[in-house]
Amino acid sequence: MAARTAFACIRSLQFTSRSTRRLSLLQKHLAAGRHFSVEAMDEEVIVERCGNAAVITLNRPKALNALNMNMIKIIYPQLKMMENDPDVKVIIMKGAGDKAFCAGGDIRAVADGKKSGNTVPSEFFREEYKLNYAIGTLKTPYVALIHGITMGGGVGLSVHGMFRVATGKTVFAMPETAIGFFPDVGGGHFLPRLHGRLGLYLALTGTRLRGRDVQLAGVATHYVDADKIGDLESQLMSVSSDNALEIGKILDDVHQKSSSEEADFSLKKRLNQINRCFESNSLEGIMDALHADGSDWAKEQLVTLNKMSPTSMKVTIRELEEGRRLNLKEDLEMEYRISQRFMDGNDFFEGVRAVLVDRDNSPKWKPSSISAVTQDEVGTYFQSLGDQDLNLQ
Ligand code: QUE
């Protein structure tokens, strides 16, 4: 049975500046006697109560549901209300459409904001990490349906939650070293906790994991066939308690019924090689090990690493090294310092320009060579911001 027919979902209206604008637009059109479609009122986030579940849908499918400030400001208070509502037994986070759960943060708006001197760059990361922490500490069971592209900011909306469900269409990546940034949204916490050196490898190279690999790597807790998602949602909407075991059982059951083809971790044959080549905590050490390995795979990794921001890579190594020992709160507070330090540098703006704005994919990193990024310079990304520090609670 399809989820939509099983439960009449009750949609809560979000009165943001955008919806107010749309509402007045709608009123104008109605006054002019024109026909108006329901889609015209669509919001960037849809919040619904469906049976015993609360469902949050990221609703910017044309932008691959990339997370912007408006969305964060809607989601955070809604999550807190859901958590305190005894009728909400489970919270579901999903993306609209078939392409993406969430392709990242609206990093372009952040870069534009810095150039025009507004407070978006300091506020965006503060609010985003606050939301990541809220998800990581929710009392109510939380299920992120990471169907489609799940990168950067989208990873932060899922990986810290109790349950993450991948499908055959899931594409996971932390690609930030390509835009002169670093794997944030709690990357420093979850990446060093994956098998061996897998997290550091994913963080430095931005390698994408697909389908089952996303679950086998430990990023997702479950894998279900895409055509079983509707049925899974229906079952979650009719849970009788907020007991994580009951929800876990539903997920385990659908997971077990999903195709076991290609069940082998496709990275499995590479894990030893990854662990060997990415063992060092210095970028020079990693590159030396890849040269020494000499395989086609190792050569490909060197080509990839040579395109990334040297500053991003060195800061990322240190971030994961520190983050291994930190809880999520401490890690996000550290990442906020790093994010703000990147706002004072060159590479983030140059990376956004080259990858997202001009799309020439030829960023001019400063410094451009790996040897020119000193450990002293890396250390400045971890310094206190004084009264500007993020203090999560
Ligand atoms: C590396 C990245 C990001 C990226 C591409 C990269 C990133 C990010 C986006 C993105 C995608 C779709 C959007 C959007 C941003 O792309 O972090 O606004 O609509 O957010 O190669 O790190």
pLDDT tens per residue across span 348-367? 999 999 999 999 999 999 99
Q: How many Å lie between the centroid of ligand 1 and the Cα of residue 103? A: 6
| pLDDT-above-70 percentage for the chain | 90
pLDDT band at 20 (very low <50, low <70, confident <90, very high): very low
Amino acid 169: pLDDT: 96
User: What is the rounded average pLDDT of the residues 131-142?
Assistant: 98
Output b/e per residue, 6-33; b: 16+ Cβ within 10 A.
bbebeeeebebeebeeeeeeeeeeeeee
Q: How many Å lie between the centroid of ligand 1 and the Cα of residue 370? A: 24
What whole-number distance in Å separates Cα of residue 225 and Cα of residue 218? 17
pTM attached to this predicted model: 0.92
Residue 26: HSE in the Cβ half-sphere, 13 Å Cα cutoff:
13
346 burial (CB, 10 Å; 0-12 / 13-18 / 19+) is middle
Is the bond preceding residue 367 a cis peptide, omega within 30 degrees?
yes
Kind of pairing, strands 10-12 and 163-166?
unpaired
Q: Judge whether 156 and 112 are in contact, CB under 8 Å.
A: no
What whole-number distance in Å separates Cα of residue 233 and Cα of residue 386? 45
pLDDT > 80? residue 14: no
How wide is the angle at C-alpha 80 spanned by C-alphas 76 and 86, nearest 5°? Answer: 150
What whole-number distance in Å separates Cα of residue 181 and Cα of residue 311? 9
- Is the beta carbon of 64 within 6 A of some atom in ligand 1? yes
pLDDT band at 151 (very low <50, low <70, confident <90, very high): very high
Helix axes 268-277, 296-305, angle to 10 degrees: 60
Q: Which of 51, 95, 105, 113 is catalytic?
A: 105
Examine the residue annotation and report whether 230 is marked as an active-site residue of this protein: no
User: What is the rounded average pLDDT of the residues 142-150?
Assistant: 98
What tens digit of pLDDT does each residue of 258-286 get? Answer: 987 666 788 888 999 999 999 999 999 99
Amino acid 42: pLDDT: 66
pLDDT > 50? residue 2: no
For residue 69, give the H/E element and its range. helix 69-83
Nearest residue by C-alpha to atom 22 in ligand 1 = 176
pLDDT > 90? residue 130: yes
pLDDT > 60? residue 32: no
Instruction: State which ligand 1 atom lies nearest to the alpha carbon of 181.
Output: 22
Amino acid 119: pLDDT: 87
Examine the residue annotation and report whether 105 is marked as an active-site residue of this protein: yes
Amino acid 375: pLDDT: 97
Residue found by looking up tokens 């960023």 in the block: 363
Amino acid 268: pLDDT: 85
- Is the beta carbon of 175 within 6 A of some atom in ligand 1? yes
Q: Judge whether 154 and 65 are in contact, CB under 8 Å.
A: yes
Q: How many Å lie between the centroid of ligand 1 and the Cα of residue 176? A: 8
Q: How many Å lie between the centroid of ligand 1 and the Cα of residue 157? A: 15
Go through the domains of the chain in sequence order and give each one's CATH number.
Answer: 9-170+211-257 (3.90.226.10), 272-388 (no CATH)
Nearest residue by C-alpha to atom 9 in ligand 1 = 104
CA neighbor of 184 nearest in space, from 61, 88, 60, 320:
320
Amino acid 80: pLDDT: 97
- Is the beta carbon of 308 within 6 A of some atom in ligand 1? no
Amino acid 13: pLDDT: 60
pLDDT > 60? residue 156: yes
DSSP 13: P
- The larger pLDDT score, comparing residue 26 to residue 201, is at 201
